[in-house]
Every structure is written in C-alpha cells, then in structure tokens.
Amino acid sequence: MLTDAPWCGHCKALAPEYAKAAKTLKEESSPLRLAKVDATEETSLSERFEVRGYPTLKFFHNGKASDYKGGRTSPEIISWLKKRTGPAAMTVDDVEIVKTMTEKEDVFVVGFFEVYTHASLS
C-alpha cells in the first residue's frame, strides 16, 4: 500500500513507477496487488499504520503490515515483492524456463541435484 499526499513531490515522482508495477503484476496474472491511499483524506488509516511521512509504502502479508524497504522503480518494487512472496526455490525441468529467467532476472542461481526416491534409499 502506498500512502501519499497530493502536494508531495516525492509522491508525484513515485506514482508512475508504482502504477507501472501494479500494471505489470496484473498483466502477469500475479496474485499480488498494489493499493494507493491519499493519506490526507484517509487520516485514520494513516494513523493506524503509523504513517509518519510521504510517500510511505507498507507491505501486508497474512494480515500484518511491515515497512517496505526496497527501491523506487517499477522493477525494484516488483522484485522486492516477489522475493518476499514467491517460493524460495523452484524445480526447473525445462531449459526454456532457464532461458526465460536469463531474460527476465538480473540474478538467479541454478543448482543441479540428484533426485532420490524412497525406493532408491533402500
């Protein structure tokens, strides 16, 4: 959630990046959603979540709010969110997935592991 004020210069600078991140997440069919709140209108909400300056970004996970500590560009916002909500690891069984990752991500790690089944451990 982004809390801002209409007169805030930093808020005005962040707004297009925040909107771009929201649009990208929606186009990716991500379950993540971004919200924007005018803190000058929603004062009780701002007080409830201890907004002390503008813009303030809050991350909500399982009903609990925490401060956003990422960058201010669309890719940085998306990356920060995905790191906190996505799987810690994923199984890759297709080289095309790795190719896609090299195009989309700045950094990623690929590990090769031998798969053991219950029968192979006997």
Domains of the chain by residue range: 2-86
User: What's the token pair of residue 40?
Assistant: 């000058």
Q: Which among 9, 63, 111, 118 is annotated as catalytic? A: 9
Catalytic residue list contains 118:
no
For the stretch 103-122, pLDDT in tens is 877 777 888 888 777 765 65
- Predicted TM-score (pTM) of the model is 0.72
Buried/exposed code over 19-57 (b: 16+ C-beta within 10 A; e: otherwise):
eebbeebeeeeeebebebbebeeeeeebeebebeebbbb
For the stretch 36-63, pLDDT in tens is 999 889 999 999 999 989 999 999 988 8
Catalytic residue list contains 61:
no
Among residues 110, 47, 91, 49, which one has the least CA distance to residue 57? 49
Q: Assign domain 2-86 to its CATH architecture.
A: 3-Layer(aba) Sandwich (3.40)
Catalytic residue list contains 71:
no
